[in-house]
Chain A
């Protein structure tokens, strides 16, 4: 943003601003996350207060509802655990999906190969953690965090560089052709997976979290895993940083404008393809970060993990609204929370819960919650 703009704003600070109107509906998705958290509590309490083997008819029984507050207090620790778990999962998915949504919004590129960055990031991070096994194993928070930071940096550097090559070799030749993009980036994903087999071998790799990040804190009777809290913190920091960059830097301004109308940005004299490469590399690096975080979360690394996570990532990108980082953030949290609550309430439903969430949101807003890219 121009340095003189704030001055201009100061001059005109007294001018009326338009509030309300179209801005309010945009806020509704923000309320979905607390709404879902409360809904989760109600559902869990309801399930707890229902007598064993009771059918749906029990829902009509006032006794069931009168026991709800008590059941809610009783179930609260589990609910808290699940909520933190869902938020942590959501944050990690957000890390992976944020780059993808910007890449799609900015250049209309569907990158099915994004999962490759997740896998590669996980393997690189795992290798670094093995290399610094003594730091990882030491019962010292500083050393542990240093090891994690090294793993994260290495993974992000590797996937960022990989993104640079990927963009040049695989994505650039197929600009503007969606079908080709799907096929070619899918091919890129397969190649990357096989390269992982070549480099790290065909087997899955087990790794353990750093010593001080193992275990859980107990708060209000709820067990909160330390690593999940760390994941939530990392996700929040990255989201805040992305928001700041997008909101207050000139490149962020160009990116936000380019997502809405790239042609016009070019016609204003900005070389969007350069900016796009930058965003692609940054998005790849973030996917690598998400991959490392996910690897330490699951404590196992496989070559297919990226492709498997891509299902969730695409759901998040779609329900968030193409090109929108905020929508992606909200969508990721919704997906994480829904998956965890459903797994608790009705484990068999967990697999379809995210698809169900996507269907509901698309019925409500067919272009996603906060669409930035105009329908093409």
Chain B
């Protein structure tokens, strides 16, 4: 019996346990060990679905809205939301009278984040904040003040709340957490027993026709500490089965609200180069991205991680314009690029390595590269560098690209993207299916690229590579970002990995 087999058995056991739990929930039973997140950062999915009590829903919503700023309200931020009904339970209730089509209708109300008025003030107080960042984990590269405020800017309804006092409060709160667990700013002290990681990926299969309970509550405003706070009450959340194929459950249309992003969830290094906020993407009838909020800092590698089907590739393709975002904004260096054609986005300065490598098999390596150099000329220095990091391309310069091996094709694909300097490189799973030696050389090349100051957003399933290359990381699940922060933090925390990536430590 080898270690591998042990691991496989372990995973099979965990899967079986998770499926049992799912079946139990489907029968309406309370799972034996209901997930009761004690920590501040529960999976945002559950927050979004946390059913407000009819009477308390306003306050609940107010708490949610205010939380990113440290909650000047009656509840301090780090306290968990009322956990009694496990989030998944809501989804079990049948709601027969629902009209699926009506629910798909986008943008039922003016959302603060998509409001044009939201844009002119994306970073409200970076200059106004004279205080040095007290947090050692964020004070990197001298970017700390912008970092903090950039974060705040991404939280919903920020224009309604005075930034300064909340910001300070938020600082306090964060310091508290740091004391608690110095390496887990974003998701401090997760109780392993309380949150079984296995239940996460199965949530999607549990959808039936259900409606959230806060239907009928008027959107309105409330006051927290005499500060008026506009409250968005979500439209009824429904889940439905595909009428033509009852076995297949569609991803439900979700309210177009940004997640209640915790302030430290986005911890970029420099000013954000690429910023996605509330991006929703449909592929055909399927709603794949459910409001992605992501920042890619200038300089360094941002790793986009997550399980298969979480929406990583769709995110990259949406950035590239190959899928059109239904809602949300994507900005590159402050300019909105969503809705533009792919060639415009490429010309805005993005180099793209698609998941399938996108090699032109009938063209030679030289022709592939010549095409990638949009200016029409290949810089000798750049080419020399490429030949140095990818010697195979030198060797097969005149060969048809279709005759290259898989690793060489991947090298060619990366080389094409970097043949000219771009502001941002999107690289989708460069190490997929490659031999370890080739992975090493590819990772070395990307490291080299990074050391030249390039900004990279990279999807990677090989966690070892991701941990080595990444500076910041974002984890996707079910079409949204559920965790974002420093890569080192994720790499150093088996808890986070187990929770968000389904990794177990031995497997590393």
Contact = CB atoms under 8 A, between A and B. Distances in A.
Contacts of A272: 343
Interface string B390-413: 000011111110110000000000
27 contacts: A1-B370, A2-B378, A5-B370, A8-B397, A12-B398, A15-B394, A16-B395, A17-B396, A17-B398, A21-B403, A22-B400, A22-B403, A253-B367, A254-B371, A257-B363, A257-B367, A260-B360, A260-B363, A263-B322, A263-B358, A264-B354, A266-B342, A266-B343, A267-B320, A268-B374, A268-B416, A269-B347
Contacts of A261: 358-360
A21 B361 CA distance: 14
A9 B387 CA distance: 13
B371 A18 contact: no
Interface of B: 320, 322, 341-343, 346-347, 352, 354, 358-363, 366-374, 376-378, 380, 383, 394-400, 402-403, 416
B394 A12 contact: yes
Interface in A240-285: 250, 253-254, 256-257, 260-261, 263-272
Given A267-B358, A270-B343, A257 B378 contact: no
A372 B362 contact: yes
Nearest to A370: B362
B360 A268 contact: no
B341 A271 contact: yes
Interface residues of A, number: 33
A260 B366 CA distance: 16
Nearest to B380: A4
A23 interface: yes
A236 to B, nearest CB: 23
Given A21-B403, A264-B358, A266-B342, A15 B363 contact: no
B401 to A, nearest CB: 10
B360 A256 contact: yes
A220 interface: no
Interface string A10-36: 001001111001110000000000000
A13 to B, nearest CB: 9
Given A2-B376, A23-B403, 20 more contacts: A1-B367, A2-B373, A2-B378, A4-B378, A8-B397, A12-B394, A253-B367, A256-B362, A257-B363, A257-B367, A264-B360, A266-B346, A267-B320, A267-B342, A267-B354, A268-B346, A268-B352, A268-B372, A268-B374, A272-B343
Interface string A301-333: 000000000000000000000000000000000
A66 interface: no
A237 B378 CA distance: 32
Contact of A5 (B346, B366, B403): B366
Contacts of B394: 12, 15
Nearest to B349: A269
A8 B378 CA distance: 9
Contacts of B368: 257
A6 B342 CA distance: 29
A79 B341 CA distance: 56
Contacts of B371: 253-254, 257, 265, 268
Interface string A178-221: 00000000000000000000000000000000000000000000
A266 B320 CA distance: 10
Given A261-B358, A267-B358, A270-B343, A8 B367 contact: no
A14 B380 CA distance: 18
Nearest to A371: B362
Contact of A8 (B358, B372, B383): B383
